Amino acid sequence: MNKIIKGGYLQNRKTYVISSVGIVSAVGAYLVGDADVFSMLQTIFTLGGIYFLKQESSTKGKSNGTNSRKISR
């Protein structure tokens, strides 16, 4: 029960799942005829941006400063 409450396997992947489902639904809406190509592309780029922003923020600070620039004085 504790796995279900805390998210289990999808604990850190909820944003990725939502972005993927949104992109698939945008493509589906275009194929069915509910959306035109411009609204489909706008939705895909917006959800893709959310995906990449989440990916960048999850890796931020993991190097513990090993790749940071050193300032010489």
**All residues at 6 or more sequence positions from 14 whose CB lies less than 8 Å from its CB, including other chains:** 7
Give tens-digit pLDDT for 1-43. 666 667 677 777 788 888 889 999 999 999 999 999 999 999 9
Q: What is the DSSP string of 12-42?
A: TTHHHHHHHHHHHHHHHHHHHTSS-HHHHHH
Which helix (DSSP H) or strand (DSSP E) does residue 47 occupy? helix 37-59
Mean pLDDT value of segment 42-69: 73
Which pTM does this prediction carry?
0.64
Who wins on pLDDT, 64 or 37? 37
List CB contacts of 23: < 8 A, sequence separation 6 or more: 43, 44, 47, 48
